[in-house]
Amino acid sequence: MTDAVLSLRIRRQLPDFDIDVALDMGCEVLVLAGRSGCGKTTTLNALTGLIPLDGGRISLEGRTLHDHAAQYSVPPEQRGIGYLFQNYALFPHLDVAANVGYGLFALSSVQRAQRVEAMLARLGISHLRDMPTRTLSGGERQRVALARALVTEPRALLLDEPLSALDVQSRAYVRSELGRILRSLTIPTIVVSHDIDDARFLGDRIAVMDAGRIVQCGTAEELAAYPATRFVAEFVGVNLVDLPAADGTVTQRIAFDPWRVRLSREPVNQRCAWRLHLVDIARSGGIVRLRLEGEIAIAVELPLESWQSEPFTLDETVYAVVYDNDVRSLSANSLA
């Protein structure tokens, strides 16, 4: 990206693998996604200067924040980066206003109060001003922590698993509110998440990380249409199947979405049809998610209404079919 606002090339040795990340981004929301323990939070901590690096360079708006070769590193508090920690890191003995204004020590008391009031109003939490943070709900605590990260007027914003501490009932609403706030910003914003639904909703782009490296970066649609690795396909919920020739060699690798699969109790004469066993059933809102295994293993998503009209049972034999116009062909050698 030639017009990158935030650019990082970082290397750090870990016990199980090495972090080796190259990333350029503009004024956008990028979700750094992947399974737990793959190096996402370590990347954020390196970007903010909270941990040392073994190599690399970081720049923000053309200003060098870290250059390992030159042995140069700007202290964390001078980097102009806001950070919302996974546990929010609020001070329980302080009220909301004091928490939000904690980082404004360089301002006068009048300036600090004005800045805090404006930020509370911007995030719709002025009514919480005098409340102790220990009395707040999860969604309220998240907005207070976000207000504290934004009130210093950072040049970039980092959020580490901002929705992970929320219960199921409040998660969708808070995610919607968070998305609205992030889209109103005009600074590079990185959100760490291991949840593909959060990544799809919040991110302009998604960078999928595996064992310390970004294996693919693109929009949710790009990742789902042509996943670069098998892990990316599994993460975004795309089914991958190798179609063998008569001699057992792979002739074609195909990808298809779980909601494109049709189920039947009778055999179906199609190129992409398999006799499988139903091994798992899970309901999520208006969707029923199934896991089928046999000669292949695939995920299936059905509307709740369709499932209720013709339910299947665990361990039942099911015929799964995907029509050719719902299949995307990939190179057999394209995925690890």
What does pLDDT average to in each consecutive run of 10 residues of the chain (336 residues)? 85 93 96 93 96 96 96 95 91 93 90 94 93 91 92 95 82 87 94 92 96 95 88 90 72 88 92 94 89 94 90 93 90 55
Q: In degrees, to the nearest 5, what angle opens at C-alpha 300 toward C-alphas 296 and 306? A: 140
Residue 1 falls inside a structural domain: no
**CA 18/CA 10 separation, integer angstroms:** 10
Residue 13 falls inside a structural domain: yes
Nearest alpha-carbon partner for 88 in 76, 102, 78, 74: 102
**CA 36/CA 294 separation, integer angstroms:** 28
Residues 262, 323 share a domain: yes
- CATH code at position 18: 3.40.50.300
The DSSP secondary structure of 80-115, one letter per residue, reads -EEEE-TT----TTSBHHHHHTTT-TTS-HHHHHHH
Residue 174 falls inside a structural domain: yes
Residue 193 falls inside a structural domain: yes
Copy the structure tokens of residue 48.
């903010």
The predicted pLDDT at position 246 comes to: 62
User: 24 - beta bridge partners?
Assistant: 7
Residues 255, 115 share a domain: no
The predicted pLDDT at position 208 comes to: 96
Nearest alpha-carbon partner for 4 in 215, 149, 156: 156
The predicted pLDDT at position 332 comes to: 54
Residues 326, 211 share a domain: no
- Residue type, position 293, single letter: E
3-state helix vs strand vs coil in the chain, percent to 5? 30, 35, 35
Residue 336 falls inside a structural domain: no
Query: Which stretch of DSSP H or E encloses residue 160?
Result: strand 156-160
**CA 252/CA 217 separation, integer angstroms:** 24
Instruction: Yes or no: say if 177 and 171 are a contact pair by the CB < 8 Å rule.
Output: no
Instruction: Yes or no: say if 328 and 255 are a contact pair by the CB < 8 Å rule.
Output: yes
Instruction: Yes or no: say if 116 and 144 are a contact pair by the CB < 8 Å rule.
Output: no
The predicted pLDDT at position 285 comes to: 78
Q: How many domains does the chain have?
A: 2
The predicted pLDDT at position 149 comes to: 93
The predicted pLDDT at position 94 comes to: 92
Cα dihedral sign, 214-220-225-230: positive
Residue 86 falls inside a structural domain: yes
**CA 32/CA 193 separation, integer angstroms:** 6
The predicted pLDDT at position 242 comes to: 85
Residues 166, 54 share a domain: yes
Q: Which of 209, 233, 257 is the last residue of a domain?
A: 233
For 331, the 3-state DSSP assignment is: coil
Query: Which stretch of DSSP H or E encloses residue 319?
Result: strand 317-321
The predicted pLDDT at position 225 comes to: 86
Residues 164, 109 share a domain: yes
Give the strands of the sheet with 328-330, arranged side by side: 239-244, 250-256, 328-330
Residue 183 falls inside a structural domain: yes
Q: Which of 201, 233, 265 is the last residue of a domain?
A: 233
Residues 95, 46 share a domain: yes
Residues 170, 24 share a domain: yes
- Residue type, position 312, single letter: F
Look up the domain containing 219 and give its range: 6-233
- CATH code at position 248: 2.40.50.100
The predicted pLDDT at position 169 comes to: 75
Residues 222, 145 share a domain: yes
Residues 244, 220 share a domain: no
Residues 219, 99 share a domain: yes
Residues 180, 257 share a domain: no
Kindly list the distances between the CA atom of residue 63 and the CA atoms of 6, 12, 32, 73, in Å, as whole numbers in the listed order. Answer: 9, 22, 23, 11
Residues 286, 268 share a domain: yes
Q: Which of 233, 263, 295 is the last residue of a domain?
A: 233
How many DSSP H helices and E strands does the chain contain? 9, 19
The predicted pLDDT at position 75 comes to: 96
